[in-house]
């Protein structure tokens, strides 16, 4: 990597550690940024150099584009890796990096814009002959248009933010009487989260699986997929557990899904790692394009455990202008992998966040077990950011063995001082429906206890 020797990691927590480790293995120097609320975070100690970027609130630190670029120049960083969240899908920031002669570890600003507008992304998929969920052709002007679309496709419908994802700005609507209030709530939430309150609407498919395809694309025209992940287990549209491969799709459907993902990436001239998300209709045995995430995903370790491909290192090779280190023929997923997102939340109290001091932190180990975490005994989980404290990932020969291995690892994992979701994941994995693979996107809400 002749043109990259020092990488600034514009993120925090476990993903910052993940990127720093990948850089170290490639012989690259690292610069960490941290807020005043993150002085005790492990990524601060692991980087070759660390610079305080500002006060604890993200708007004054991790989202401060000008300050981050200033630190990059001050430390002579050649590239900035944004991780996920924060500025990872901010086309303006990607453009600013390029204008300042700094490599943005991700796709081009044009690709981010093309897929960042969910309405335009749907239109691109449709032009490629990929099915999209029935709904609005463009953004919605008012709630009356939702009622009009319901006349054509029926309820339930799902209101979604055109400028973002991650469950923000989403509202399920079951009747005409719910439309106005849901529209107002969704628009307010979208505006607050993305500074853009434009909404669109889709038919809400009730018996569906959320399946995504991981792709990698370099600057030499090479595009590969690394298989699919099942992300169906969600609460309030937030993923809680992911697994790969999806246990309910046929090889023929898998081939169609992965081909669709690759075609979208090729069409927009995509480079870097990306994820194309689909909704699989179990009743119709069909799939629909949902969106493309133009960044590394939280759940990328699931795919790494199956394929042996270091996705973050591939991102760094791509931005340095190197070709992918693997071809499609090299990618042979083996076994079954599961990831549990362990959050500082209290499942007994509506999953309320539980920031505070971790007094005991004993990680699990053993064959086929991976833990991505920035936490340790004596670390204080701050109240300013996402509640994720660890990602526990296992891989085994088959799904049954992977479930057993994950249960064993969860039993070993000890976190004291704050409530976490470890016990919730244990209950989930012991559930007969989950073990049989007979669940959909509404299963957790409808069949697994009460969802607050």
Catalytic residues: 295
Backbone angles phi, psi at 293, to 5 degrees: -95, 120
Residues 6+ positions from 115 with CB-CB distance below 8 Å: 121, 124, 268, 274, 291, 292, 293, 294
Burial class (CB in 10 A: 0-12, 13-18, 19+), 297: buried
Dig out the tokens for 197 from the structure. Answer: 């309150």
Distance (Å, rounded) from C-alpha 390 to C-alpha 342?
Answer: 5
Distance (Å, rounded) from C-alpha 93 to C-alpha 90?
Answer: 5
Tell me which residue of 291, 278, 263, 266 sits closest to 229, measured CA to CA. 278
Distance (Å, rounded) from C-alpha 85 to C-alpha 422?
Answer: 23
End-to-end C-alpha distance for the chain, whole angstroms: 49
Distance (Å, rounded) from C-alpha 270 to C-alpha 259?
Answer: 15
- CB-CB neighbours of 75 under 10 Å: 17
Dig out the tokens for 35 from the structure. Answer: 């807020």
């Amino acid at each position: 990597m002749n043109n990259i020797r020092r990488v600034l990691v514009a993120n925090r927590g476990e993903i910052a550690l993940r990127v720093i480790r990948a850089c170290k293995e490639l012989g690259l120097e690292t610069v960490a940024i941290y807020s005043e609320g993150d002085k005790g975070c492990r990524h601060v100690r692991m980087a070759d150099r660390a610079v305080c970027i500002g006060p604890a609130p993200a708007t004054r630190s991790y989202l401060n584009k000008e300050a981050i670029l200033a630190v990059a120049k001050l430390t002579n960083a050649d590239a900035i890796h944004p991780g996920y969240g924060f500025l990872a899908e901010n086309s303006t920031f990607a453009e600013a990096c390029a204008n300042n002669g700094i490599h943005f570890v991700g796709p081009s600003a044009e690709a981010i814009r093309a897929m960042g507008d969910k309405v335009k992304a749907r239109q691109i998929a449709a032009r490629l002959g990929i099915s999209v969920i029935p709904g609005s052709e463009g953004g919605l002007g008012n709630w009356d248009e939702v009622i009009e679309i319901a006349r054509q496709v029926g309820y339930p419908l799902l209101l979604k933010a055109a400028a973002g994802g991650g469950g923000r700005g989403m509202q399920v609507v079951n009747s005409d009487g719910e439309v106005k209030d849901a529209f107002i709530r969704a628009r307010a939430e979208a505006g607050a989260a993305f500074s853009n309150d434009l909404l669109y609407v889709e038919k809400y498919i009730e018996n569906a699986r959320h399946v995504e395809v991981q792709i990698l694309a370099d600057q030499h025209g090479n595009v590969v997929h690394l298989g699919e992940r099942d992300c169906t287990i969600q609460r309030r549209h937030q993923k809680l557990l992911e697994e790969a491969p999806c246990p309910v799709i046929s090889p023929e459907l898998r081939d169609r899904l992965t081909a669709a993902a690759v075609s979208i990436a090729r069409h927009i001239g995509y480079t870097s790692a990306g994820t194309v998300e689909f909704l699989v209709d179990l009743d119709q045995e069909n799939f629909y394009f949902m969106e493309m995430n133009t960044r590394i995903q939280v759940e990328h370790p699931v795919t790494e455990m199956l394929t042996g491909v270091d996705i973050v290192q591939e991102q760094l090779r791509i931005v340095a202008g190197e070709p992918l280190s693997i071809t499609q023929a090299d990618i042979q997923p083996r076994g079954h992998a599961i990831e549990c997102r362990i959050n500082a939340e209290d499942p007994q109290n509506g999953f309320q966040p539980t920031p505070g001091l971790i007094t005991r932190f004993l990680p699990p180990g053993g064959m086929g077990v991976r833990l991505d975490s920035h936490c340790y005994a004596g670390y204080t989980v701050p109240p300013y950011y996402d509640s994720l404290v660890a990602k526990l990932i296992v891989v085994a020969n088959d799904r049954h063995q992977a479930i057993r291995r994950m249960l064993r690892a969860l039993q070993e994992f000890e976190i004291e001082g704050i409530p976490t979701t470890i016990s919730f994941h244990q209950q989930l994995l012991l559930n007969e429906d989950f073990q049989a693979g007979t669940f959909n996107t509404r299963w957790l809400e409808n069949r697994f206890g009460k969802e607050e």
